[in-house]
Structure 1
């Protein structure tokens, strides 16, 4: 208990109430005792919530310069105990504010990889380290198992992984029965007795001399992995820092557990969608084929297909089912399988193929609509007959022209009581590539549709001459030009399908 003289009165309730209106610093200043000195009587180190501010600083190989001591205040001097209480209150508020800001930044991450990087950055700031790594290895064995580094290149992580698992901090944490317990602290690695020779070699090569490791585990989430922060010189976090980083990692583990479940669900959805698409494209004389496909994070219903037909013909199709998730993926699989059957029976008439597909959709999927394009190709004659239902027009790329094919306007399948639209016929020149795609390619640009079409046309027109003989290279060039951020842009839920057919 603090012996506060009767001449000093600290109204804590008034202080806390004032913080709601004027901020912590202003409130402390207004309610400070008259006798409070302008400067502190002793050096103060960074505060950590709930930890006494008199904990000594961390030990380093080079002791920090100590400031000149201020004249000690008399125990009976007015204001000294009140200043101590206010100092502690300010420290607690400051530490809780820091923790709140760091957890808010973590809560804004929506993907597992982003969250792992944020945990490393925040933890490094809390413990005073510059580098670190997170080893994700869920105890249930369902994965994903991965290692993410901060200030460490892929080659550096590879060097660390050559150290025997039992000699590493994260290995000892992960090999525990429950993956929890005390942190692994190595204040001076290179001077430790019994340090594994390979560990000593790697530490000297990468230039770290100390490490501090914590388990990423809670009773609710179980063991997810371990986080390790590396110091360039012998050092270790003080008790205040350990307390605060412990609070942070407990919250981070719960957040990572939620993102882990989402990542697993996304992976399952992508795997199912990929398995429902053709594993390889057929080889048909007179035409070269290439396809690019990426499922959005929620799992979508875009598809493509290339089907050899009788008499050397080829059926090409792309399409998209409304919705996302497992139900959309399942609906996409059913429609694609049905379209293949209709193409074999009456593929030379694309309108009939789409009419049958529309009837099936209305009867079996009354709450859905879909866009689709089907093209009946005769490579030997370089002749294409196609029909589209609410779909974007194909793009022809050649030496002397880059233009969209003129197709008739049509509603998507399932939108009208009876779908029917005329087909169009055109003949690509030798060496020209026909590009068919889903609307996700245009939507991912974030531009209005007219500008997205202009961007697609410009990308196709800019295909270098050196790659015009390779439909796969053409597709990659178009994708990288239209979508500079790539197909993995985290802010897009759209599927992307691109099917290129080059006629010889």
Structure 2
């Protein structure tokens, strides 16, 4: 980062200033001095844009832009109001050297009339605080941002009293603001740099900042587009695969969805739903491949499974057979695993056990964990969905005592051990046996314990891992 100037209105011959030109304006100046100044400017811009280019997050990119402007202009604090012209958001205020309370105080400054650039209605502080009775433009070239300079806030009686009051409270004596825009996005928002004492930024450094901001605005526009894409993907994922499970009568539920830093491996689906006459349905599965197409397939399978469970949930084989047909018709080139568990209604309120009927299509068996036992609920072997010539495996039956937990999990949990499949199953069973009595009695605590104990120590999860625990009361 270039060295911050000692003062915003220091002499042009100050060697600490970015873009300093030795002897500029004296009889010693000449072509060599100008070339040296240009080289210094290019080096400064290169360093600043290089730092900006290494940011991948929209907020980090905004903060880096504010830091660069502060270093060039000699300001200590800054504020950016993100308010895209297309109205699609997001809208937010990001500060440099400003607390949330101080940003809140700036928001109370009334928006001035006759401003030179638009501002966010909810963030009028940027333009209102920078607006002045006189404004000057340091760069009149086409496309240059319209600057708003106020060199002495306290001394300008034309400003709104609230403007000067907030400035005095924050110790702000001067401000310099510019809008940021990029093609084809249009206006992105506005930035203002705040000074601790009266001053007007050096014209040369303002021109240098204007050149930097042209690059920064385009980078911010790209980060904004990426942030919107990520937000849209999260919204779609949450709509297709909610991050929580609704409470159900007769069972305590816990869901843990550990997302890998990068998409890979598979896309999971899961559900727990109330069925007619007090029965419960639990399901879990994975589709092959990452990305939006796999997410859409997972959402489709989850929706289809819910419908089939309501119609014929007491026969898990029929449910998965219908799901097999759905996958063949909608995603003929995709495979998926699935497990469906039907918990029959209790015959009497004081019955000590719950009868479960399970069917699996290539998915690992559930683990039953209680005070007195830890055992896999064996399921008949079957190929995954999309690979069946006909249904190959019958359903299996399990009796679960009151207070025992049925743990469903994705295959990625076993792969996270880094061990062969047999060893991974042994590791999962051992981890459950090592759970404390308190953890065995709480499905959320049990799921958390398993998520910590099963994956190899220090091994990052390359895929999403889902655990769905149901303790039957």
3-state SS of paired residue (2:314):
coil
Q: Which deviates the most, 414-423 or 248-257?
A: 414-423
Contact 2:361 2:383 in 1 (8 A): yes
Q: Structure 1 residues 424 and 240, CA, compared in 2 at 3 Å: closer, same or farther? A: farther
Correspondence 1:98 to 2:54: no
- Please report how far the alpha carbon of residue 224 of structure 1 lies from its aligned counterpart in structure 2 after TM superposition: 0.7
Change in Cα spacing, 1:374 to 1:131, as seen in structure 2 (3 Å) is: farther
Partner secondary structure for residue 191 of structure 1: coil
1:231 maps onto 2:195 in alignment: yes
More displaced stretch, 113-122 vs 420-429 = 420-429
Alignment pair present for 1:357 and 2:323: yes
Q: Tell me the residue number matched to 2:127.
A: 170
1:105-138 C-alpha deviation (Å, 9 max, x unpaired): 3233333233223322333333233332221111
Q: Deviations over 1:283-317 (max 9, x none)?
A: 54321224455888889953222222234221111
- TM-score (ref. length: structure 1): 0.68
Q: What does residue 309 of structure 2 align with? A: 343
| More displaced stretch, 195-204 vs 310-319 | 195-204
Question: What pairs with 1:438-453 in structure 2 (closer than 5 Å)?
Answer: 438=410, 448=418
1:266-285 alignment runs, 5 A limit? 266-277=230-241, 281=245, 283-285=247-249
CA offsets, 1:459-478, max 9 Å, x none?
Answer: 97898877876655766787
Q: Counterparts of 1:360-399 in structure 2 under 5 Å?
A: 360-378=326-344, 380=346, 381-391=353-363, 393-396=365-368, 398=370
Q: CA RMSD in A?
A: 4.4
| Alpha-carbon spacing, 1:410–1:219, altered in 2? closer, same or farther (3 Å) | same
Residue in 1 aligned with 2:53? Answer: 107
- Structure 1 gaps, min length 5: 1-41, 57-71, 484-490
Residue matched to 1:321: 287
* Conserved 8 A contact 1:378-1:384: yes
User: Any conservation in 1 of the 2:367–2:375 contact (CA below 8 Å)?
Assistant: yes
Pick from 11, 14, 17 the counterpart of residue 46 of structure 1.
Answer: 17
**Counterparts of 1:460 and 1:122 in 2: how far apart (Å)?**
53
TM-score by length of 2: 0.72
Report the alpha carbon displacement of residue 400 of structure 1 after superposing the two structures with TM.
6.0
2:408 to 436, 439, 442: 436
User: Structure 1 residues 53 and 500, CA, compared in 2 at 3 Å: closer, same or farther?
Assistant: farther
* 1:121 counterpart = 2:78: no
In the TM superposition, residue 141 of structure 1 has moved relative to its aligned partner by 0.8
Q: Does 1:136 align with 2:102?
A: no
Is 1:158 equivalent to 2:92 in the alignment? no
Query: Conserved in 2, the CA contact under 8 Å of 1:385 and 1:425?
Result: yes
8 Å CA contact 1:287–1:379 kept in 2: the answer is no
